Chain A
Amino acid sequence: MFMLLVIMWSLEAWSGQAAPPTGGPIADRIAAAAPHDTVRVEAGTWTEPTIVIDRPLTLLGEPGAHILGTGGYELLVIEADSVTVSGFTFSGVDRTFMEDRAAIRLQDAAACRVTDNTFRDVFFGIYMARAADCHIENNTLQAQITSETTGGNAIHAWYSKRLTVAGNQIDGFRDGIYLEFTDDSRVTGNTSTNNLRYGLHFMFADRNAYADNVFSDNRAGVAVMYADGITMQRNVFRRAWGASSYGLLLKEIRRGEVMDNTFDGNSVALLVESTDHMVFGGNTFAENGWGIKLMASAIGNVFSDNTFRGNTFDVSTNSRTLDSSFEGNFWDTYEGYDLDRDGRGDVAHRPVTLFSVLVERHEPVMYLHRSLLVDLLNVAERMLPVLTPTDLADPQPRMRPPL
């Protein structure tokens, strides 16, 4: 009896290690697989109804494995924990206004991995609903949507936690990465470009970290709203260009850090609105229209060791009284001196010019940009501030950019 059990057990073990049956639809192979099996899918175009993964397993696409939909349904739905999907190309998911139809949906799944896949011409790419501890890594997602209202998001997370979104290449969606009610996640090393709305967008998403990402040529840049305790480090925000485009838009954000990021060639590099107790340090603002638009509703923020270079306006604000401080930044427009040679200027720098205040109040004043009159007015205002905020000043600006 015991021997029989051993034989049964070893047979079971043996069948677990063997390759699952090949040929036939992917759905059938999944149905035949035992938990934690590896299901390999060979090269070819697979068109079948929505594939549901309802047990933990690894679905591996060999090079050339292509899951192609006919448009009206989702391609892959993951409903179990510990599922890995890797190596596929997904395409053929049409847009719809009735649901967020995605190429891959993770529904109430935990510890899943979606890695090294390619998504082309899909509505939503990867959609996570109540997922936890999932890794979305090294995928390539491409779409060419034409209008903001008819596009989907590349990577979308809703009510999820502890996600890792890393090393993905995203191009041409509505939002590149959208986290909604998603906490304690890490978004690192992604490239998100040419999206019609935001390269990265998160709302009500607390304690998330964003590092080493590149966001460029997104129509509205990156938007961060209603979040607590975020950190953003070493990201690049580039060419958010247009009437209401922001390199980084912060609204209702508390107690976070924005460190060592690069803002390059945006219409407005950083908009800070109703945001309190944030630290902005070591960032570079170069060649932007506005470096920082600091709204009166922002409280207790600290800007230190940042570099401002070649911006049309370094800082502009809509208020005369401000509760944020600037300490030891480098301003290329600084005209002071450093007699004691400690690397810090001896007179305070007021980054808000009269012209920026006038433009803030009456936008058409912009027509006078770079005219002699404006230069004269700016100099006069600097001598005797009347309209510009007197307390918005960097008391000890750096003479050289921080390294």
Chain B
Amino acid sequence: MMTTLVRFHIKNALRSRWLVAHFVLYLLITEGLLLASGASDKTLLSLINVVLLLVPLVGLVFGTIHQYNGREFTELLLTQPVRRSVLFGSLMAGVALPLVASFALGVFLPFAWHGGVTWYQGVRIGTLIGLGSVLTTTSVAAAFMVSTGQADRVRGIGTALGLWLIYAVLFDGAVLLMVTTLGQWPIEKALLGVMLLNPVDLSRLILLQVFDAAAMMGYTGAVFTRFFTSATGYLVAGAALVTWMVLPILAARHRFLRQDF
């Protein structure tokens, strides 16, 4: 039952023009950057900005819209003898998997046909795609939370955009405020903990560590580098990322199972 439903939902998502546009968008951005400055670190750095900006936005908006569009059919399926958990799993996979795949392929393919990628850059591209996939999953799960609880589609999409704004901008604003007011205190380590609370920031810090360590030198940089290159750092960052994938999914599932449609 699960596989049938997953296959159906993936097929359904693949029919969406938005998904194709999503794929083409990443393909064009990566290809454009590669044509402009070659397979250099600069290309990869520009890609970071794009990925950190677009991936959560697309995950949230596409996830929400897709849910609302498929709502009648979801309600129809709910009247059938299908377990809710199975239905949720298939819906979730049906959006997240195609999104992850189109993002990953869109970024990967241009590098593949341009070639000339060193092993080091390969690791960096891999990290970028991996973190992008985690962020996609997280944001799709968040989108499910929103669309399941909110029947009004306009308010739902508004909430999704608000969430994106919080994680992409407002959270950082709060951090900036915190640093400038508590600047006299040794808050470097505490800040690392705060950064774990936002998957976008966490991904950005990991990518920074992999990419341009130069600017991260100085005392802050030293604390930061020591954390992210230590075994504890890997474990904590990895655990935080996994939590950021699993927790929203579990929360969305919980809500979906209890929702009165």
By a beta-carbon cutoff of 8 Å, the part of chain A in contact with chain B is 241-243, 245, 265-268, 287-290, 310, 312-313, 358, 361-376
Contacts and interface: CB of A to CB of B under 8 A. Distances in A.
B230 interface: no
Contacts of B212: 312
Given A370-B208, A371-B201, A242 B217 contact: yes
B128 to A, nearest CB: 13
A312 B204 CA distance: 15
5 contacts: A243-B217, A245-B217, A312-B214, A371-B172, A372-B168
6 nearest CB pairs, A to B: A312-B215, A289-B214, A373-B172, A362-B183, A267-B217, A289-B215
Contacts of B219: 243, 363
A368 B45 CA distance: 15
Contacts of B180: 358, 361-362, 365
Contacts of A370: 45, 48-49, 52, 204, 208
Interface in B166-191: 168-169, 172-173, 175-176, 179-180, 183, 187-188, 191
Nearest to A269: B214
Contacts of B215: 289-290, 312-313, 366, 369
B197 to A, nearest CB: 13
Interface residues of B, number: 34
B179 A364 contact: yes
Contacts of A245: 217
B123 interface: no
B240 interface: no
Given A243-B219, A370-B48, A371-B201, A365 B176 contact: yes
A154 B42 CA distance: 38
A289 B217 contact: yes
B218 A265 contact: no
B220 A366 contact: yes
Interface string B128-163: 000000000000000000000000000000000000
B214 A373 contact: no
Given A310-B42, A364-B187, A243 B48 contact: no
Contacts of B169: 372-373, 376
Contacts of B204: 370-371
Interface string B92-106: 000000000000000
A376 to B, nearest CB: 7
A363 B218 contact: yes
B217 A241 contact: yes
B205 A367 contact: yes
Contacts of A362: 179-180, 183
A361 B176 CA distance: 12
Interface in B20-70: 42, 45, 48-49, 52-53
Nearest to A373: B172
A290 B217 CA distance: 10
A310 B188 CA distance: 27
Contacts of A267: 214, 217-218
Contacts of B14: none
A322 to B, nearest CB: 21
Nearest to A243: B222
A372 B51 CA distance: 11
A374 B169 CA distance: 9
Given A289-B215, A369-B215, 11 more contacts: A243-B217, A265-B214, A267-B217, A287-B214, A362-B183, A363-B219, A366-B215, A366-B216, A367-B220, A371-B204, A373-B176
Contacts of B168: 372
B227 to A, nearest CB: 11
B89 interface: no
Contact of B179 (A289, A312, A365): A365
Nearest to B225: A243
Contacts of A289: 214-217
A191 to B, nearest CB: 23
B214 A243 contact: no
B214 A372 contact: no
B19 interface: no
Contacts of B205: 367
Contacts of A241: 214, 217
A266 B168 CA distance: 30
Contacts of B48: 370
Nearest to B173: A373
Contacts of B176: 358, 365, 368, 373
B191 A367 contact: yes
B217 A368 contact: no
A366 B183 contact: no
B218 to A, nearest CB: 6
Contacts of A376: 169
B246 interface: no
A86 B187 CA distance: 57
B204 to A, nearest CB: 6
Nearest to A242: B217
B47 to A, nearest CB: 11
Contacts of B214: 241, 265-267, 287-289, 312
A238 B34 CA distance: 27
B210 interface: no
Nearest to B48: A370
B236 interface: no
A369 B205 CA distance: 9
Contacts of A312: 212, 214-215
A397 B49 CA distance: 26
| Most chain B beta-carbon contacts within 10 A, residue among A266, A268, A362 | A362
A290 B205 CA distance: 19
Nearest to A245: B217
Given A312-B212, A371-B172, A373-B172, A364 B191 contact: yes
A265 B217 CA distance: 12
Nearest to B174: A373
Nearest to B189: A364
Interface in B193-243: 195, 201, 204-205, 208, 212, 214-222, 224
